[in-house]
């Protein structure tokens, strides 16, 4: 028998979250962001649930190719543009739209031979300082692009560094508006946080919104808001079972480094999940876990294949946890109780994004179909 660990991808939940994102900006078209293999969910697995989108946005040309193989004929946007000149051939062949964030990408386009001019999204750096033209250089980049026969329509895009905090949009919006207000072309600004928090407000409301993490049921502005506040449903459940229980006495400790010591007699459970499955090793004592749908906590250090949980809350509820009891690391338990991935991420000092992307290849994945 294989180890009892399993990840479940919930397609109806993805559809629900897609509808939530649409409702937050009903007039905009929506890019479903599926980079990093759909945030760890698997592009092929989520495709049926997300095909109601207007387009898919990602970074990797191989992933774009997979979407075309699945039959997607609509828009695909490469958020970082091309990485070398010959990538443009694939863009022409698969009609991929691509970001243009630096002069070299314009040089490559100028030298590219194509029958079909490309649709590009010119990217402005409004303070994130990763990719894009500064507001000062943006208009000359636009002028250069506009003069190229290889380029069809030019849209404008920027990416917020602080969309999840109050007041995080004012400065970048001002820069963007000043540099682009009189230029033709569609606009795309919002990630999930900007979409959910301000999607219905001008000037955040744009032609295209780019929804990533919200599709996957994690609150983009946790802990200011929780996924339930935004009515998002978990799309990934990581679950396993108890392999053993241990009765501890006061003073007994648990696991490597004895990072947890019992202050009174207590029953703990040993679950078949460890950091080699993608569960974060740095998750702290107290990180929430569900056992048979009852919320309890991690105790002791996470090891490669196992972790330990406090069974006290189950005993207090009159339950009898033991070998084979269901353990939900995040997502939805069999009894319907939800453990938001954001709560687990918080216990591990990270974000839901990282946890969902990090589920290891050794974990079998099943899909709850539509």
Ligand X SMILES: *Cc1c(COP(=O)(O)O)cnc(C)c1O
Residue 214 contacts residue 192 (beta carbons within 8 Å)? yes
Which of 5-13, 138-146, 208-216, 279-287 is the region at the interface with ligand X (rule: CB under 6 A)?
208-216
192 makes contact with ligand X (CB under 6 A): yes
For this structure, is 256 an active site residue? Answer: yes
Binds ligand X (CB under 6 A): choice among 77, 78, 151, 211: 211
Largest CA distance in the chain: 77
Which of 63-71, 139-147, 206-214, 229-237 is the region at the interface with ligand X (rule: CB under 6 A)?
206-214
126 makes contact with ligand X (CB under 6 A): no
What does each C-alpha distance from 246 to 142, 241, 243, 279, 319 come to in angstroms?
Answer: 66, 15, 10, 21, 16
Strand pairing partners for 155?
121
Would you tell me how many other CB atoms lie within 10 Å of the CB of residue 362?
A: 12
235 makes contact with ligand X (CB under 6 A): no
- The residue whose Cβ lies closest to ligand X is 212
Rg over alpha carbons for the chain, rounded to the nearest Å, is: 23
24 makes contact with ligand X (CB under 6 A): no
Residues in 58-97 at the binding interface with ligand X, rule: CB under 6 A = 79
Up-side HSE of residue 202: CA atoms within 13 Å toward CB? Answer: 1
Q: Which is nearer to ligand X, 309 or 351 (CB)?
A: 351
Count residues contacting ligand X (CB under 6 A)? 12
* Site pattern 31..50 for ligand X (x: CB under 6 A): --x-x---------------
Spell out the residues 6+ positions from residue 322 whose beta carbon is closer than 8 angstroms to its own: 242, 245, 269
Indicate the SS3 state at residue 161.
Answer: coil
Where b means 16+ CB within 10 Å and e means fewer, 316-352 reads eeeeebeeebbbbbbbbbeeeebbbbbbbbbbbeebb
Q: Where are the beta strands (DSSP E) in the chain?
A: 6-10, 29-33, 55-58, 76-78, 97-100, 118-124, 151-158, 187-188, 208-211, 236-248, 253-254, 260-261, 266-271, 288-291, 294-299, 307-310, 326-332, 338-339, 365-368
198 makes contact with ligand X (CB under 6 A): no
Q: How far is the CB of 230 from ligand X (least distance, A)?
A: 12
Q: Which is nearer to ligand X, 213 or 270 (CB)?
A: 213
Binds ligand X (CB under 6 A): choice among 45, 187, 210, 332: 210
Which of 110-118, 166-174, 188-196, 290-298 is the region at the interface with ligand X (rule: CB under 6 A)?
188-196
Token pair listed for 356: 């969902």
Of 159, 210, 189, whose CA–CA distance to 32 is shortest?
210
For this structure, is 47 an active site residue? Answer: no
Catalytically annotated residue among 35, 138, 279, 353:
35
212 makes contact with ligand X (CB under 6 A): yes
Which of 101-109, 187-195, 248-256, 322-330 is the region at the interface with ligand X (rule: CB under 6 A)?
187-195
Q: How far is the CB of 190 from ligand X (least distance, A)?
A: 8
Q: How far is the CB of 249 from ligand X (least distance, A)?
A: 46
* Site pattern 137..156 for ligand X (x: CB under 6 A): --------------------
Q: Which is nearer to ligand X, 199 or 269 (CB)?
A: 199
Q: Residues with catalytic annotation?
A: 35, 256
Q: Which residues contact ligand X by CB under 6 A?
A: 33, 35, 79, 159, 191-193, 210-213, 220
């Amino acid at each position: 028998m294989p180890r009892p660990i399993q990840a479940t991808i919930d397609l109806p939940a993805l559809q629900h979250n897609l509808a939530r994102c649409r409702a937050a900006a009903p007039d905009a078209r929506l890019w479903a962001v599926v980079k990093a293999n759909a945030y760890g969910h698997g592009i092929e697995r989520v495709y049926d649930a997300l095909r109601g989108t207007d387009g898919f946005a990602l970074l990797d040309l191989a992933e774009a190719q997979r979407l075309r193989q699945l039959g997607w004929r609509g828009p695909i946007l490469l958020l970082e543009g091309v990485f070398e000149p010959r990538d443009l051939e694939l863009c022409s062949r698969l009609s991929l739209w691509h970001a243009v964030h630096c002069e070299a990408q314009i040089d490559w386009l100028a030298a590219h031979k194509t029958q079909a001019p490309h649709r590009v999204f010119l990217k402005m750096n409004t303070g994130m300082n990763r990719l894009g033209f500064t507001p000062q250089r943006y208009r000359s980049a636009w002028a250069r692009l506009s003069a190229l026969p290889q380029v069809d329509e030019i849209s404008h895009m920027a990416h917020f560094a602080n969309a999840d905090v109050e007041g995080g949009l004012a400065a970048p919006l001002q820069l963007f508006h000043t540099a682009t207000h009189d230029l033709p072309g569609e606009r795309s600004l919002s990630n999930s946080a900007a979409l959910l928090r301000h999607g219905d407000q001008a000037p955040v409301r744009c032609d295209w919104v780019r929804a990533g993490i919200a599709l996957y049921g994690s609150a983009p502005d946790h802990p200011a808001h929780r996924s339930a506040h935004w009515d998002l449903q978990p799309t990934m459940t990581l679950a396993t079972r108890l392999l053993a229980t241990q009765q501890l006495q006061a003073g007994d400790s648990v696991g490597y480094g004895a990072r947890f010591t019992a202050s009174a007699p207590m029953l703990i459970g040993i679950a078949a999940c460890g950091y080699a499955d993608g569960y974060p090793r740095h998750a702290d004592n107290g990180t929430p876990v569900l056992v048979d749908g009852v919320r309890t906590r991690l105790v002791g250090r996470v090891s490669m294949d196992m972790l330990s949980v406090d069974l006290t809350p189950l005993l207090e509820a009159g339950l009898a946890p033991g070998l084979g009891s269901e353990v939900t690391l995040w997502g939805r338990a069999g009894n319907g109780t939800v453990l938001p991935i954001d709560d687990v991420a918080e216990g591990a000092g990270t974000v839901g994004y990282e946890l969902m992307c990090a589920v290891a290849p050794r974990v079998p994945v099943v899909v709850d179909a539509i």
